[in-house]
């Protein structure tokens, strides 16, 4: 069963953290974004086209979320689930795990995106803000969830001034403290 859910806005370092935790402990993970991209590819659609399909047909988006919920509850499922809403699902299903939100300012996330993908800071900010707005509308319409509501998270790490190893160490300490490893 899942020990850790990892959520955060695009560019917050969730994927880097998940890879580090899984390497450290030999754990498996499921990435909600990878599931989304995989289903888009199976349907012969780009991510943007599939996103529009999900907007037009909300049951498609909900079916993807259901995959994550089932994986969280499975005895032989991955130890780590990463997605924007997985902390909400774990909270709503009363799953005993660490529900982590990585909090990073929009400015710092844009800096990280530029370092990773190139481009200008302004372009990265624009893409991040546009995606955040689109995602928030979708999550509100589907589930009445605001990403600004951190109620489901039992661990929030503000990581603007932390590097990837510092975040990894903090999460690892929490996992040990909670008896998850």
Whole-number pLDDT of residue 157: 98
pLDDT at 56 over 90: no
Q: Are strands 29-31 and 155-158 parallel, antiparallel or unpaired?
A: unpaired
The predicted pLDDT at position 61 comes to 87
**2 and 178 Cβ atoms separated by less than 8 Å:** no
Q: List, for residues 99-108, the tens digit of each pLDDT value.
A: 999 999 999 9
Tokens of 33: 């974004």
Coil, strand or helix at 20: helix
Q: Is pLDDT above 90 for 163?
A: yes
**pLDDT tens sequence across 12-42:** 999 999 999 999 999 999 999 889 889 999 9
Predicted confidence at residue 51, as pLDDT, reads 82
pLDDT at 171: 98
17 vs 20: CA distance, rounded Å: 5
Give the H or E element holding residue 91: helix 86-92
Q: Cβ distance 5 to 71 under 8 Å?
A: no
What is the CA angle 143-65-111, rounded to 5?
A: 85
Domains plus CATH for the chain? 4-176 (3.40.50.300)
Q: How far is CA 76 from CA 28, 85, 88, 168, in A?
A: 10, 21, 21, 24
Higher model confidence: residue 162 or residue 36? 162
**Average pLDDT of 69-81?**
95
Query: pLDDT at position 122, please?
Result: 97
pLDDT band at 43 (very low <50, low <70, confident <90, very high): very high
């Amino acid at each position: 069963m899942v020990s850790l859910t990892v959520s955060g806005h695009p560019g917050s370092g969730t994927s880097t953290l998940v890879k580090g935790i899984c390497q450290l402990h030999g754990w498996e993970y499921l990435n909600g974004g990878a599931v989304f991209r995989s289903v888009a590819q199976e349907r012969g659609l780009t991510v943007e086209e599939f996103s529009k399909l999900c907007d037009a047909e909300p049951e498609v988006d909900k079916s993807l979320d259901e995959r994550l919920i089932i994986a969280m509850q499975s005895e032989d499922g991955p130890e780590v689930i990463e997605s924007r809403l997985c902390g909400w699902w774990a909270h709503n299903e009363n799953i005993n795990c660490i529900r982590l939100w990585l909090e990073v300012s929009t400015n710092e996330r844009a800096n990280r995106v530029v370092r990773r993908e190139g481009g200008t800071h302004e372009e990265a900010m624009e893409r991040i803000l546009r995606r955040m707005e689109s995602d928030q509308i979708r999550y509100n319409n589907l589930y009445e969830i605001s990403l600004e509501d951190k109620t489901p998270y039992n661990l929030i790490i503000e990581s603007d001034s932390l590097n990837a190893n510092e975040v990894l160490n903090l999460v690892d300490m929490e996992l040990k403290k909670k008896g998850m490893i």
